[in-house]
Amino acid sequence: MAESEVEAENARLTGSAAAAVLLMLFDEDEAAQILSRLEPEEVRQLGYAMYDVADVEVGEVNAALDQFVRKAKGRTTIGYGASQHIRGAMHKALGPERADNMLARITPPTQSTKLAMLKWMEPAEIAAIIETEHPQIMAIVLAHLDPVAAAAVLQLLPPEVQDDVVYRVATLGPVSAEALDDLEELLSTRPGHARGGASTTKRGGTSEAAAIMNNVRKDHEQRIIKALTKRDKVVAQSIEDEMFIFENLIELSDKDLGTVMRSVDNSLLVIALKGASEALRTKILGCMSQRAAQSIQDEMEERGPMRLAEVLEAQKAIIAEARRMADEGTVMLGGRGDDYV
């Protein structure tokens, strides 16, 4: 390898730093087009990186360009302009009227531009906009945010409505276009809002409510779950069931996972591991002695195929044990807020 190539290799930039170097090589308009296609967190990371690479050296620029060229060779441009291409082909094949009718049924729904702007707003800003609105409006807004942002907004809302909002997220069905239009008007001060788009959109559900609850503080979680249980035990239990599932055990430390596994009967574990991912299975067996792990593996092979219902029941039993131990303070479960003492 030539000396210049060695220097370039040693000067290699990775991740957002390499992307920032490439972006700095474009003019403002070209860079703006690229940034407009990115998510808020990606823009933030690139912004930080662009300041960091302001004094980048020639070798680092060359290395970043080499990375880009290698990765670009493995990509296609089939996804760019796909909508226009599909629409044009349909029009030519079926005629404008029949094509438009067909496209209306098969085109994936697109998110409202104003609702998409939610992800660029700070939690405090969103909470300030909706804090005096009906809890149903609050629920719809939270259902359109990612779980971490939704949890942050939820904790900024009045405490007396938080459980109601979570309940409404959990039981949220299709949202009408009219409701979305009202929400858009709330989020926008611009006049002349036009209605249109699909008649309904589906958001929410117990899984989404659970994802939000997994990101609230422990004290908020306990209070909200308690209130939900008084209101609707079935919904509250469904949310709790989905807040921590069997695959989440992979988030535990080796020490805590080993503690949980030692309190579980091997016959139950053999059944539960039948439905576990390879990564989780490897981690669980790695927390055991070599002899115990081999015994579990041998028994799993002997058992052969098992009914899914039986596997899920075994997994629920182990999760219940993990929760019990977490409540006692014996172990710490992942994804349950940021409380430390």
Residues 224 and 119 in one domain: yes
* Alpha-helical regions (H) of 176-289: 177-187, 206-213, 218-231, 233-243, 254-262, 266-273, 278-286
Query: Given this model, what pLDDT does residue 278 score?
Result: 87
Q: Which residues contact 49 (CB under 8 A, 6 or more apart)?
A: 16, 17, 19, 20
Residue-level pLDDT, tens digit, the chain, 341 residues: 444 444 444 445 667 777 777 777 777 777 777 777 777 777 777 777 777 766 677 777 777 777 777 766 665 555 555 667 777 777 777 777 777 766 666 665 554 445 667 777 888 888 888 888 889 889 988 988 888 889 999 999 999 999 999 999 998 877 777 777 777 777 764 333 333 444 455 567 888 888 888 788 878 888 898 899 999 988 888 888 777 778 888 888 888 888 899 888 888 899 988 888 888 889 999 988 888 889 888 888 888 788 888 888 888 888 888 888 887 888 887 544 444 33
Specify if 284 maps to a domain. Answer: yes
Query: Given this model, what pLDDT does residue 155 score?
Result: 92
Give the burial class of 166: count Cβ atoms within 10 A of its Cβ; 0-12 exposed, 13-18 middle, 19 or more buried.
buried
User: HSE (CB half, 13 Å, CA atoms) of 46?
Assistant: 18
Residues 147 and 215 in one domain: yes
Total structural domains within the chain: 3
Specify if 108 maps to a domain. Answer: no
Specify if 341 maps to a domain. Answer: no
Cβ atoms 195, 176 nearer than 8 A: no
Residues 166 and 231 in one domain: yes
Query: Given this model, what pLDDT does residue 81 score?
Result: 59
Residues 214 and 269 in one domain: no
Please report where in the chains the tokens 């994802």 appear, as a residue.
Answer: 211
Cβ atoms 201, 174 nearer than 8 A: yes
CA distances from 232 to 155, 208, 243 (A): 21, 17, 17
What's the token pair of residue 46? Answer: 């690139």
Query: Given this model, what pLDDT does residue 197 score?
Result: 42
Residues 228 and 148 in one domain: yes
Residues 40 and 155 in one domain: no
Domain end among 21, 52, 73:
73
Residues 280 and 224 in one domain: no
CA neighbor of 210 nearest in space, from 221, 219, 223 = 221
Domain end among 191, 215, 238:
238
Specify if 305 maps to a domain. Answer: yes
Residues 162 and 57 in one domain: no
Cβ atoms 254, 287 nearer than 8 A: yes
Residues 218 and 254 in one domain: no
What's the token pair of residue 249? Answer: 């055990």
CA distances from 251 to 121, 127, 216, 237, 293 (A): 29, 30, 17, 22, 20
Specify if 18 maps to a domain. Answer: yes
Amino acid at 84: Q
The enclosing domain of 210 has a CATH number of 1.10.220.30
Residues 207 and 189 in one domain: yes
Measured in whole angstroms, how far is the alpha carbon of residue 100 from the centre of its chain?
33
Domain carrying residue 313: 246-328
* Predicted model pTM: 0.49
Residues 252 and 234 in one domain: no
Amino acid at 241: D
Q: By three-state DSSP, how is residue 176 classified? A: strand
Specify if 160 maps to a domain. Answer: yes
Specify if 291 maps to a domain. Answer: yes
Residues 120 and 226 in one domain: yes
Domain end among 238, 264, 291:
238
Cβ atoms 139, 169 nearer than 8 A: yes
Specify if 136 maps to a domain. Answer: yes
